[in-house]
Amino acid sequence: MPGVTTSSEPRASVRAAPPAQKERPGVPASPQSSASASPPPCAAPTPLSCAVATSPPAVDRLALLRRFLTAYWLRPENAFWMTLRSLSLSTVEWRGPSIDVSCGDGLFSFLHAGGELDPAFDVFASVGSLDRVTHEHADMFDFAGLQYAPPVTRRPARGIDVGTDLKDAMLAKASALGFYGRLIRHDSNERLPLPDASFETVYCNSAYWVEQIDGFLAELARIAAPSGRVILHVKLDSMRRYTLEPWRAALGENFLRIIGRGRFECWKSLASRLQWERRFQSAGLRIADARAFATPTHSRLWDVGLRPIAPLLTRMAGALTPQTRAAIKRDWVDLFCELLDPMTRVGFDLSETADEPAEMQYVLVGSA
């Protein structure tokens, strides 16, 4: 297994995965990857961890929020969601060897692990297709300029051994962080080109994007060591209720199309808690811990955010002089730190009735 990246290690290399075996996409071929005889299906969701209402130890919540806001300042709703996700992940011990499946640009995992970047840097410094975002739902972050080089001011105490993603631009950005020991171009609907029982920590926050979800979960179970854990952050389909969709007749199709930008159509495996937990069981995974960290209120705030105008804000920010941009960004981040402070407190929810959360963290182990 590759060693964990340290600050002295070179930038990770990116390689393509070998051709997939002739098999149904997403279904592992090795006998170790298949679950044994399935136990009776779950009848009710697993009770939430009693620790859900406690703050993670030794985590400065406001400093974490500022770190994410500095990187995602023009999308503050994404910054507070990543802060919530990071706070929840801080309750789990990270053990190596580790893998970040569908790591994207790697920035979330880098910042969560304690990495810091020069305040002048943010994710809007290297974007593309801004004119195609609103009407074609193009991903403006699926672009890596030749000069993309995040200025790291503090290295995390640990790295991640392996990262995977399908998009070349995302892998190039993740490589530039010097945080991953190895990066692999990989479609999560296919078999992972990695040996059985390879990792103590298998992490993924994008499982709900994967179409062949049952095969994908079986693959995560296969590559986890017998003493390892699979840590998943999964959105729930309850999020559909926490949007402006119920007011479609009043708002109109065009409004909801601009606001939504095809989000739910991309989330192929969105499901309820009970459905997710039945999937885990079928994949041979047992729930060691389950906790909610994003509430209905969080989801309703995130539903709109600054998403519709983010391309315009990006163009405006890009037209400023570096000095003016830095000054505005500093004041912007200060303001949103104050505004989002209460929303990142543990258990924040303004709903009058109890309902399913918007996103869950599951820590899973082998069922054997």
Tell me whether the omega of the peptide bond preceding residue 97 falls within 30 degrees of 0, making it cis.
Answer: yes
Q: What is the dihedral of CA 112, 169, 122, 101, to 10 degrees?
A: -10
Look over the chain and give the mean of its residue pLDDT values, rounded to a whole number.
Answer: 84
Better-scored residue on pLDDT, 158 or 50: 158
Better-scored residue on pLDDT, 87 or 28: 87
In percent, how much of the chain has pLDDT > 90? 64
Alpha helices in the chain (DSSP H): 61-71, 76-89, 107-112, 133-136, 168-176, 213-223, 248-251, 253-260, 263-266, 273-282, 296-304, 310-318, 322-340
66-123 pLDDT per residue, tens: 999 999 999 999 999 999 999 999 999 999 999 999 999 999 999 999 999 999 999 9
| pLDDT tops 90 at residue 298 | yes
Query: Contact at 8 Å (CB) between 234 and 362?
Result: yes
Structure tokens at 202: 């298998």
Query: How large is the average pLDDT for residues 241-259?
Result: 89
The C-alpha atoms of residue 82 and residue 75 are separated, in whole angstroms, by 11
Q: Which helix (H) or strand (E) holds 226?
A: strand 224-235
Rounded to 5°, the CA angle 14-15-18 comes to: 160
Fold of 32-349: Rossmann fold (3.40.50)
Query: How large is the average pLDDT for residues 311-335?
Result: 95
The C-alpha atoms of residue 25 and residue 21 are separated, in whole angstroms, by 9
Query: How many beta carbons lie within 10 A of that of residue 204, not counting itself?
Result: 23
**Which residues are registered as beta bridge partners of 340?**
none
Helices 273-282/213-223 angle, 10° precision:
50
**Which residues are registered as beta bridge partners of 236?**
271
| pLDDT tops 70 at residue 56 | no
The C-alpha atoms of residue 103 and residue 42 are separated, in whole angstroms, by 30
Determine whether 210 is exposed, middle or buried from the number of CB atoms within 10 Å of its CB (0-12, 13-18, 19+). buried
139-170 pLDDT per residue, tens: 666 667 778 899 999 999 999 999 999 999 99
The C-alpha atoms of residue 173 and residue 126 are separated, in whole angstroms, by 9
Q: Which of 368, 362, 367, 366 is closest to 47 using CA atoms?
A: 362
The C-alpha atoms of residue 336 and residue 122 are separated, in whole angstroms, by 15
The C-alpha atoms of residue 65 and residue 61 are separated, in whole angstroms, by 6
Q: Which of 31-40, 117-126, 217-226 has the lowest mean pLDDT?
A: 31-40
Structure tokens at 148: 């993309």
Determine whether 149 is exposed, middle or buried from the number of CB atoms within 10 Å of its CB (0-12, 13-18, 19+). middle
Those residues whose C-beta lies under 8 Å from the C-beta of residue 96, and which sit 6 or more positions away, are 4, 158, 161, 200, 201
Query: Contact at 8 Å (CB) between 264 and 244?
Result: no
DSSP states along 119-167: TT--GGGS---GGGHHHH---TTS---TT----EEE--S--EEEEEES-
The C-alpha atoms of residue 25 and residue 78 are separated, in whole angstroms, by 31
